[in-house]
Amino acid sequence: KAGVTQTPRYLIKTRGQQVTLSCSPISGHRSVSWYQQTPGQGLQFLFEYFSETQRNKGNFPGRFSGRQFSNSRSEMNVSTLELGDSALYLCASSLVELSSYNSPLHFGNGTRLTVT
């Protein structure tokens, strides 16, 4: 069974631009959650989508948004990029929604975003 696939693997953008990241979950998984990982802050929760609905959101500004499609694939968008948005963005999928906490998250290898 294929794992979680994130594209692109690397991305370089300039301040003020916007970016869209893509995540394809493991087949049959309906929950997709997004995380930002930086050396200083560690791994931080951005948001979760389940059945095309945002179920939970972390403490990030409105510039960070996402959506989920009917096939469970998800996209994350960051508008008006800032230098501090440089990070590894990870997507994780789960068989059921995060509130069913007896189900492991399976992570992709992330998208490395560099903002210059």
Partner 1 sequence: DAKTTQPPSMDCAEGRAANLPCNHSTISGNEYVYWYRQIHSQGPQYIIHGLKNNETNEMASLIITEDRKSSTLILPHATLRDTAVYYCIVRGLRHSGGYQKVTFGTGTKLQVIP
Q: Please give the residue ranges that form the binding site for partner 1 (CB under 8 A).
A: 4, 6, 33, 35, 42-45, 48, 55-56, 58, 90, 92, 97-99, 101-102, 104-110, 112
Which of residues 87 and 92 has its CB atom nearest to partner 1 in the complex?
92
All residues at 6 or more sequence positions from 61 whose CB lies less than 8 Å from its CB, including other chains: none
Cα separation, 16 vs 47, in Å, equals: 22
Instruction: Report the nearest approach of partner 1 to the CB of residue 20 (Å).
Output: 19
Report the C-alpha gap between 94 and 75 in whole angstroms: 16
CB of 21 to partner 1, least distance (A): 13
State both tokens at 97: 């929604």
Nearer to partner 1, 41 or 80 (CB): 41
